[in-house]
Structure 1
Amino acid sequence: NALVFGHHLQDGTMFSKLGGFIDVAYLDEHTPIQIQTPTEKASLTVLAVDRVNASRETVRLEFDTALDHATWLASVTAASDRNLSSAGFDFDSVENVVTLCTCSYSTWGNERTLVYCAIEMAD
């Protein structure tokens, strides 16, 4: 699980748009997410979106086995505010996950919006 944190600036720059993914209509209009580095392109399939209290939640980045990873992914998506993985989704098939994270300002004052995504590398 690669965690990418970007600041949600009140002027609408940086990762501020990420907070909109909690809304189903916005989510539908802005997926898949395209990422480009100087050497690669990737498409991110959104699996779930969650708003969490940053004072209470922790992030998991490492896993002992593929089964451990699949179990974690099934658990966090099931508990999320927006779960886009359908019943019967094969979490074992998701090898690489990126979690996009930004500050949000609506419930606890110290919250984060987390967008869990499966990575598909472009050719």
Structure 2
Amino acid sequence: MKKKTLYTILILVFAGIFILGAVQVYLQLREYGEGESSYTEMEQYVWVDEGPEDTGDERQDGNQSGEGEPDISWPAVDFDALSEINPDIVAWIYIEDTKINYPVVQGRDNQYYLKRLFDGKWNSAGCIFLDIRNEPDFSDRHSIIYGHHMKNGTMFSGLTEYKKQEFYEGHPTILLMTPEQNIRVEIFAGYVASVGDNAWEIAMGSDVEFENWLEEAKVRSCFKSEVAPAVTDRIVTLSTCSYEFDNARFVLLGVIR
């Protein structure tokens, strides 16, 4: 009798564990779906022309078009409509032929958008956001944009593909659109960092310190790039989780052109 009771209890315990696990998986999948659907709906505010415009006029980022400039189809972004949904928007980030096609916000701290969608709804996908220490116009020497590495391949999950040389060669450019300008970012390094590293320094003490910081990034990079950053350049870093060790991060660095 005691054995039968024990077996019954064990069966109930295992059944409870199974049901709890199934519920957790269901809730996670539903949350993933809600997050992905939310950002897919936002793509109605962004559109890309079929081919680049080649007018020879001044580019929107204030630099003159000329020989050697890459042909770029700049996505057009309806910032007025997006600002009505969330006034925290500062940019839109786009990497061609990837899933990275998202609004960029800047909150009052670096915590809120870790678990909030663009519309403010709680969701583990969070939102792509600019470091609170940065100016929203990307005028700082070093600007940092964060995004989660989601298991369903959304948000900044695709950044870890840059651990492969061939992926970098096929996707060497990040496009940032702000309400005031279009910003082309030429990628020059990407590497796995520990949270204790200096990958997220904003204020460099001197040009020498900044130059050493840039050189370290190039040395540690998973891929080789011919892009040579200088101390006079402005740098953008994209940061997401990686899983080589506890608290690992993958950072992708580019030069604003």
TM-score for the superposition, normalised by structure 1: 0.79
Whole-angstrom distance in 2 between the partners of 1:5 and 1:102: 6
Instruction: Give the superposition deviation at 1:85.
Output: 4.2
Q: Which residue type is aligned with residue 253 of structure 2? A: Y
Residue from 230, 247, 255 that aligns with 1:91: 230
Whole-angstrom distance in 1 between the partners of 2:221 and 2:229: 17
Whole-angstrom distance in 1 between the partners of 2:229 and 2:156: 29
Instruction: Give the superposition deviation at 1:114.
Output: 0.6
Alignment of 1:1-123 (within 5 A): 1-54=142-195, 56-58=196-198, 59-85=200-226, 89=228, 91-92=230-231, 94-105=232-243, 107-120=244-257
Once the two structures are superposed, residues 48-74 of structure 1 have per-residue CA deviations (whole angstroms, 9 ceiling, x without a partner) of 1101233x4242211123333222211
The 3-state SS of whatever aligns with 2:192 is strand
Once the two structures are superposed, residues 22-45 of structure 1 have per-residue CA deviations (whole angstroms, 9 ceiling, x without a partner) of 111111111211111222211111
Once the two structures are superposed, residues 87-107 of structure 1 have per-residue CA deviations (whole angstroms, 9 ceiling, x without a partner) of xx4623x420011111123x1
Instruction: Give the superposition deviation at 1:79.
Output: 2.7
Percent identity for Structure 1 against Structure 2: 23
Contact 1:7/1:102 (<8 A) preserved? yes
Instruction: Give the superposition deviation at 1:116.
Output: 1.1
Higher relative contact order (CA closer than 8 Å, sequence separation 6+):
1
- Residue correspondences, number: 115
Whole-angstrom distance in 2 between the partners of 1:5 and 1:48: 16
2:62 corresponds to which residue? none
RMSD value over aligned CA atoms? Answer: 2.0
Instruction: Give the superposition deviation at 1:108.
Output: 0.9
The 3-state SS of whatever aligns with 1:98 is strand
Which residues of structure 2 form unaligned runs of 5+? 1-141
Whole-angstrom distance in 2 between the partners of 1:47 and 1:114: 11
Instruction: Give the superposition deviation at 1:110.
Output: 2.5
Q: Which runs of 4+ in 1 moved over 3 A?
A: none
